[in-house]
Structure 1
Amino acid sequence: MSDSRTVLVTGATGFIGRALVPVLIEQGHEVRAMTRRPESYDGPGTAVGADVHDPDTLGPALAGADVAIYLVHSLDDVDFERKDADAARAFGKAAAEAGVQQIVYMGGLGADDDDLSAHLRSRREVEGLLGEAGVPVTVLRAAIVVGAGGISWELTRQLVKNLPAMVVPKWVGTRTQPIALHDVVRYLAGVIGKEEALGRVFEIGGPEQMTYLEMLQVAAEISSGRRVPIVQVPVLTPKLSSYWLALVTDVDVTTGRNLIDSMSTEVIVTDHSIREVVPGEPMSYAESVRIALEDAADA
């Protein structure tokens, strides 16, 4: 592959896609921004209309693309596992038929032998289905991505903003490894066309392993200069937690429930081989929080 490629970005209007597309253009790639509503797309790149849940639309969008970046999921749907599996299978098949040389996918961290939540289990399934038709897949597995507009980050931001104190379930003691949106984009852009990245799974994360409780406290101190009193309770079911989140944030119950199901699983980086392919030190959690707050204020 040459350095400049034709790259199709699915989910181009989403949280990660919006940040990724301009970076790819700056690097000299020809970018197709795939969206279900191309007529209303106002970002950089060339808008192409297609829907991963409508296989007939995928062929024209993928025709002539060298690389496809897959950033879509259906967390806001109660039947998201089936929908995401069907979409991944259809997309992988269409990519193979179009001669795509690499699919890059954003997956979720978590050890393969863990009792994974439905959300993380679905991400694993999608990894395999995307490559089922033969296109080499590069997977980047991440935990919480910190950036303005990201669902997991918005939960954190809105909780510390809206509540003077919190009663929280025991899953806030689970360790995770948050990563800045800036670093996610850097890794996604960095693996494009790299022979050593084809067919591989990489774990990506920031420099710190933190509990959700620590993340909430750091975010509170940076955003308001205060610590939020937090009381942990031993029993607060995912269903009750999701209603609680829907009450105090603008995240809907279904999405909240699917995310909370994953929060009892420890998700930390155990393999740092991504550094060999895309060198550079990731941003600290505190710095990523400051940038996310600044970006939200400027929006």
Structure 2
Amino acid sequence: MGNNRPVVALTGATGYIGGNLLEQIKEKADVIALSRSGDEKENTEQVTWRSADFFSMPDAEKALEGADYAIYLIHSMKPAAKLTQAKFEDMDLILADNFARAAKKQGVKQIIYLSGIVPQNEERNKLSRHLRSRLEVEKVLRAYGTPVTTIRAGLIVGPKGSSFPILSKLAKRLPFMLLPKWTRTKTHPIALKDVVGSLNKSVGNEEVKDRSIDVGGPEVMTYKEMMIQTAEVLGKKPRVIDVPFMTVNLSRLWVMLITGASKEMVYPLVESLQHPMVAKNKADGISEGTITFKEAAKTALQEEEEDSGAPDYLKPNPKGKDVRSVQRVMLPDGKNAEWAGEEYMDWLATLAKPLLWTEVDDAKKGQVFLISKKKPLLELSFAPDESDQHRVLYKITGGRFASVRDDSRGRIEFRQIPDTQECIIAIHEYEPAMPWFIYRYTQANVHLIVMYLFKKHLERLMKSERHHEDEGAEKQIVEA
């Protein structure tokens, strides 16, 4: 790498946005190109490839080492393990928290984050899960003090990806279109080339640090207009029928059936389509795309035809035998992740005595036993070097239930969401010892039940605390 050029860490460097952005960034900066398969790539004078799994804090820290700026293009709408028991928004939160912590530790000067346009004057609890998650990620990325520039885009018109390929698939396959009410919602499409240009111009730009900027193309359109124009580019003239009765729920099933996309991909996207997404918070020189929708659609469809690779929404799920399970709970006031980890171990000891019990030693190594004390079902070893008050990690180091090798990375963590009493409890890269089919329909479901019961335990603690507070307040009133 050159000595006088800034260094930019680019996540998703093999993706359809990251791959295009990489070509622009390397003209003005050296690039740390990050991907799950980065070690398989060949380095050049301007580009150093690194493999990184941002669910892992050590991986995140190594990935951003030496970076002046970091571009965040990570999204978790597809499963990240053979068995994923998690909502995409909870996985996104873990990824963002690890990234923001690592950026702070490595002295990154700016994070550039690609998000979605958020409707103005819309109450947060009325937004779709996808848009709420985008806002939560933005908040978490800012939580550790690194300046963040958020580029908010509507539908990005490009090959692969998710939104436009799904739209183009509908236009290709439908001889006539029954278009529900949400297809008349206004949105602000932007060509892939334009959004890549906006991201590129934001790197190291002092004027846009700690700002959220909307970007859009030259036209504000409805989804109906986009589908008709896409069909025209394809040489089709489908009959269009507006219908008032097709709900978002029915539309999700309809889109899945026609496109072959997964539930994990389609549901969040379609839920967001009912919101108008028009660029409002603009920045000169960054917000204004110049390529028309029809022009961008033509280019995208041509590139899609020339490239045999599958779009993101059709890429296969991970293989292997690992499990990722994530749940979100509320903690009592004043409590943190460190307390949650200790409380979980103590509570587990009471869950099914005398059949099931736990032992925790002075080093916080916990062992879970069933009837016999000869060998634990599970052994969890506290990792002090990867823990603090707001994030506590236990490595899965043994037990009958776990397949543990020298290179195993199975772990359970308790992570408090910054500035809230919400806590994420997550199991990562756990490999069960029992045959997969048996595990999938026994232990995997038992784990969900245990986490549900722990959540209820915390709710009872909070309810009890509120009751005591109310009693104390009533007593003070009486005494007065």
In the alignment, what sits opposite 2:51?
49
Q: 79, 86, 91: which one pairs with 2:87? A: 79
Letter in 2 for 1:269: A
- Tell me: CA distance 1:120–1:42, structure 2 relative to 1, closer, same or farther (3 Å): farther
In the alignment, what sits opposite 1:145?
156
Q: 190, 195, 199: which one pairs with 1:188? A: 199
Please say if 1:11 is aligned against 2:12.
yes
Distance 1:43 1:17 in 2: 16
Deviations 1:148-178 (CA, angstroms, capped at 9, x unpaired): 1121100111111111112232110100000
Give the TM-score of the pair, scaled to structure 2.
0.59
Please say if 1:21 is aligned against 2:22.
yes
In the alignment, what sits opposite 2:107?
99
Q: Is the deviation greater in 117-126 or in 227-236?
A: 227-236
In the alignment, what sits opposite 2:251?
241
Distance 1:279 1:245 in 2: 30
In the alignment, what sits opposite 1:36?
36
Distance 2:78 2:157 in 1: 19
Q: 118, 121, 124: which one pairs with 1:110? A: 118
Deviation at 1:236, TM superposition (A): 2.7
Letter in 2 for 1:138: T
Distance 1:129 1:60 in 2: 20
Distance 1:205 1:187 in 2: 10
Distance 2:4 2:213 in 1: 21
- Tell me: CA distance 1:41–1:258, structure 2 relative to 1, closer, same or farther (3 Å): farther
Distance 2:108 2:218 in 1: 34
In the alignment, what sits opposite 2:178?
167
Is the 1:109–1:267 contact (alpha carbons within 8 Å) kept by the matching residues of 2? yes
Q: 210, 213, 217: which one pairs with 1:206? A: 217
| Corresponding residue SS for 1:74 | coil
In the alignment, what sits opposite 1:261?
271
Is the 1:245–1:253 contact (alpha carbons within 8 Å) kept by the matching residues of 2? no
In the alignment, what sits opposite 2:71?
69
Give the TM-score of the pair, scaled to structure 1.
0.93
In the alignment, what sits opposite 1:220?
231
Which has the larger share of strand?
Answer: 2
Distance 2:42 2:230 in 1: 32
| Corresponding residue SS for 2:234 | helix
- Tell me: CA distance 1:281–1:84, structure 2 relative to 1, closer, same or farther (3 Å): closer
Is the 1:178–1:208 contact (alpha carbons within 8 Å) kept by the matching residues of 2? yes
Is the 2:89–2:133 contact (alpha carbons within 8 Å) kept by the matching residues of 1? yes
Distance 1:22 1:79 in 2: 33
| Corresponding residue SS for 1:172 | helix
Is the 2:7–2:32 contact (alpha carbons within 8 Å) kept by the matching residues of 1? yes
Deviation at 1:239, TM superposition (A): 3.3
Distance 2:150 2:43 in 1: 25
Is the 2:218–2:288 contact (alpha carbons within 8 Å) kept by the matching residues of 1? no
RMSD (CA atoms): 1.9
In the alignment, what sits opposite 1:270?
280
Distance 2:159 2:41 in 1: 19
In the alignment, what sits opposite 1:284?
292
Distance 2:4 2:173 in 1: 47
| Corresponding residue SS for 2:17 | helix
Is the 1:148–1:293 contact (alpha carbons within 8 Å) kept by the matching residues of 2? yes
Is the 2:215–2:289 contact (alpha carbons within 8 Å) kept by the matching residues of 1? no
Letter in 2 for 1:6: V
In the alignment, what sits opposite 2:472?
none
Letter in 2 for 1:11: G
In the alignment, what sits opposite 2:62?
60
Letter in 1 for 2:305: A
| Corresponding residue SS for 2:241 | strand
Is the 1:35–1:50 contact (alpha carbons within 8 Å) kept by the matching residues of 2? yes
In the alignment, what sits opposite 1:230?
240
Identity %: 36
Aligned positions, number: 294
In the alignment, what sits opposite 2:405?
none
Which has the larger share of helix?
Answer: 1
Is the 1:241–1:257 contact (alpha carbons within 8 Å) kept by the matching residues of 2? no
Larger radius of gyration: 2
Deviation at 1:15, TM superposition (A): 2.1
- Tell me: CA distance 1:3–1:245, structure 2 relative to 1, closer, same or farther (3 Å): farther
Deviations 1:239-265 (CA, angstroms, capped at 9, x unpaired): 332222122113212211110000000
Letter in 2 for 1:39: D
- Tell me: CA distance 1:258–1:79, structure 2 relative to 1, closer, same or farther (3 Å): same
- Tell me: CA distance 1:280–1:210, structure 2 relative to 1, closer, same or farther (3 Å): closer
- Tell me: CA distance 1:112–1:97, structure 2 relative to 1, closer, same or farther (3 Å): farther
Letter in 2 for 1:17: G
- Tell me: CA distance 1:253–1:136, structure 2 relative to 1, closer, same or farther (3 Å): same
Is the 2:216–2:288 contact (alpha carbons within 8 Å) kept by the matching residues of 1? no
In the alignment, what sits opposite 2:301?
293
Residue segments in structure 2 that go unaligned for 5+ positions in a row: 80-85, 308-480
Is the 2:198–2:287 contact (alpha carbons within 8 Å) kept by the matching residues of 1? no
Deviation at 1:32, TM superposition (A): 1.2
